Structure 1
Amino acid sequence: MEKRDTPIVPPCSIAWTPIPSISWCLPFVGHLGIVDGDGLLHDWDGTPIHPNHPKDMLFGEPARYVVLARDPAPAEKERWNQAIAQADYEFSRHPHCIGYGYDCHSHVARALNLARYLGCTYHNKILNIARYLGCTKVFLAFAVFFAGHYVSVPRDLLRVWVPPLVMLPPIVIVCFFIVLLLLNSPSE
């Protein structure tokens, strides 16, 4: 696969993009992919993974990213690429099940486990604070949400935050009136 000249997400990083409808109500939920040492994106949607340019991410161009290794040494870059390739192979045989099964976050977590990123091999979905704080799939979501860089500050900042700011007030108002109705309903 050929690299395009202008990378929008640096190599050795994770990339995040909002999922329409879901991210509009829950802005911390989105689609996650991992970028190899050559700048190619690997994002899993339940089918075999074909590395491509980050602009070709499943739900559109990435809005945010977190660099996990800046200017890695050749051996580290090779280990990173091999870990991602192994995760790609393993996930080509799994069914996709968002949330509780195998999903895009699980794929990224598996690649990080194989790469032994931060010396940790337990990047997964289950937050076990006592033993694995900082080495879970939940950590990945928090890392992107709180430490992620916007690919384009004006454009992606608006793309991530305008839909929730439009959607959440009506939802809160409706919930408020439902609660009022329930509290004021005569009880028998």
Structure 2
Amino acid sequence: MELEATPDDEVFSSNDEMQELWPLGEVDPKKARFPCCIVWTPLPVVSWLAPYIGHVGIAREDGTVMDFAGSNLVSVDDLAYGSAARCLQLDRKKCCFPANLAEHVCARSHEHSEAGTAISWDDALRSGARRFEHKCYNLFTCNSHSFVADCLNRLAYGGSVGWNVLNLAALVWLRGRWLDRAAAVRSFLPFAAVSCVGVLMAGWSFLLGMAAFSLMLLGWFVLGVYCLKGLVG
């Protein structure tokens, strides 16, 4: 699965100049500040059965997290379902911030314009929030991953405007980091407990059932993203 495009350097530039980027602050989990990061936290019940599924948000340059938390609701500095467990800080140099929208000539300028061109990191997040404030939340068709993927497309992160719930989830899991050991335990302990209780009560067939559940979920998102275009936002 392709995580991010790796085209030539000109993909990230518009004309011959970029918007000036100022230094970011440090990631500070205690203060819930994650500058230009994607953050992940487990979902109640769902993550107990499939621990790779969770809730994600994306942070502004000042570290404040924004997330699609419910229908017509994009939360600011109030990550739904608890504090972040994993985070991945993104490189703004891999985004396309045209210095002049009228002269947007990056390699994917047309696709980027259709996705929603942004002049800064925070501008992309604001535009994405305005769009999702008019959307209904649904775990299977339009969820927190949909919002973050939309923001990445507005940023043309990695030179790509093809971000979706699947390659975003893979990016976070393969390249993100646990904030501490307690976060990892908090994420996997319920899954381990449910698995142990299930095996004791129903035998090893319970684990087969959980595996089937995971495959069905994965199959749904593959179908919705790649086969039935527009089904999964």
Which TM class, normalised by the smaller chain length?
Answer: 0.7 to 0.9
Q: 2:170 aligns with which of 142, 162, 168?
A: 142
CA distance in 1, matches of 2:169, 2:73: 23
Shift of 1:175: 5.8
Verify the 8 A CA contact 1:14 1:67 in the aligned structure 2: yes
**1:44 partner SS:** strand
Q: 1:81 aligns with which of 119, 122, 135?
A: 122
Render the CA deviation track for 1:74-104: whole Å, top value 9, x for unaligned: x6996211111111000011111112x2111
- Hey, what does 1:58 align to over in structure 2? 80
AA of the residue aligned to 1:139: N
- Hey, what does 2:163 align to over in structure 1? 123
Shift of 1:50: 4.1
Unaligned runs of 5+ residues in structure 1 are: 125-136, 179-188
> Equivalent residues in 2 for 1:88-99 (5 A)?
88-99=129-140
AA of the residue aligned to 1:48: L
AA of the residue aligned to 2:193: V
The TM-score normalised by the length of structure 2 is 0.60
CA distance in 2, matches of 1:140, 1:146: 10
CA distance in 2, matches of 1:24, 1:64: 17
Relative to structure 1, is the Cα distance of residues 10 and 177 closer, same or farther in structure 2, using a 3 angstrom cutoff?
closer
CA distance in 1, matches of 2:119, 2:83: 26
CA distance in 2, matches of 1:122, 1:60: 29
Relative to structure 1, is the Cα distance of residues 144 and 150 closer, same or farther in structure 2, using a 3 angstrom cutoff?
same
Matched, 1:37 2:58: no
- Hey, what does 1:185 align to over in structure 2? none
Verify the 8 A CA contact 1:16 1:30 in the aligned structure 2: yes
CA distance in 2, matches of 1:114, 1:72: 12
Relative to structure 1, is the Cα distance of residues 139 and 162 closer, same or farther in structure 2, using a 3 angstrom cutoff?
same
Verify the 8 A CA contact 1:13 1:69 in the aligned structure 2: no
AA of the residue aligned to 1:122: G
Aligned CA RMSD, in angstroms, stands at: 2.7
Unaligned runs of 5+ residues in structure 2 are: 1-25, 99-117, 207-233
AA of the residue aligned to 1:146: L
Q: 2:74 aligns with which of 39, 49, 62?
A: 49
- Hey, what does 2:183 align to over in structure 1? 156
AA of the residue aligned to 2:84: P
CA distance in 1, matches of 2:93, 2:184: 26
The TM-score normalised by the length of structure 1 is 0.73
CA distance in 1, matches of 2:75, 2:155: 19
Verify the 8 A CA contact 1:19 1:30 in the aligned structure 2: yes
**1:43 partner SS:** strand
Verify the 8 A CA contact 2:94 2:157 in the aligned structure 1: no
Matched, 1:25 2:55: no
CA distance in 2, matches of 1:89, 1:177: 46
AA of the residue aligned to 2:195: L
Relative to structure 1, is the Cα distance of residues 104 and 70 closer, same or farther in structure 2, using a 3 angstrom cutoff?
same
CA distance in 1, matches of 2:139, 2:170: 18
Q: How many residues align?
A: 157
